[in-house]
Every structure is written in C-alpha cells, then in structure tokens.
Amino acid sequence: GPPLPDEALEVHDPVIVVEVLSPSTSRHDTGTKLAGYFSVATVQHYLIVDPVRSVLIHHRRGTEHIETRIASEGTLLLDPPGIELLLDGLFGEA
C-alpha cells in the first residue's frame, strides 16, 4: 500500500482491532472492513463502538465462523489475549 504518514503506528500481528463508528463510514466499517480485518490470521476480535446507538459490536473469530455479540453493559472478555472490558458507563451513563 501507500507509505504511512510519519505519525502513523504500524502494528505487526494485531489481535484486537477497534473502530469508532461514524455515520458516513458505518456501512464500510461493518462490511468491507470486517472481511478485511479477519483476513489477517492474527486478528481475533474486531470491536466497533457505535456512539449513536450506544452499543459495542464485538466480532470474534470462532472455530468455523465469525461470532457477533452486541452489548451496552456488563463485561466483555477478549480471550486471547485475556482482557476484560467493563462496558457499564462506556457511553456516559452513570
């Protein structure tokens, strides 16, 4: 691809990819990018933060297919690498 800007951070062997959805790119982020990210063998989780709907969409690599969960509260376990995310209050609700 094209050269990266000097301030860009290149991550080798990513395990988790996180995107914040914007109205102008939502179709691309939830379709084309999903397939693209999971074409990378090391990617296990693709998280999409939707601030308009106040939900987190979690796509996870399963043994035979991509598993999807939509959540706005509770705890989300990302394993690997073994990270727990507390979703309560993520969207500003106290």
pLDDT 10s digits, 27-73:
777 788 899 999 999 999 999 999 999 999 999 999 999 999 999 99
Domain of residue 78, residue span: 16-86
Q: How many residues does the chain have?
A: 94
Over residues 7-22, the pLDDT tens digits come to 888 889 999 999 998 8
pTM: predicted TM-score of the whole model, two decimal places: 0.85
Task: Find out whether 72 and 56 touch, Cβ atoms under 8 Å.
Answer: yes
Within-domain flag for 71: yes
- 10-27: burial string, b at 16+ Cβ within 10 Å, e else: eeeeeebbebebeeeeee
Q: Please report where in the chains the tokens 């996180």 appear, as a residue.
A: 18
Residue 2 belongs to some domain of the structure: no
| 82 found inside a domain | yes
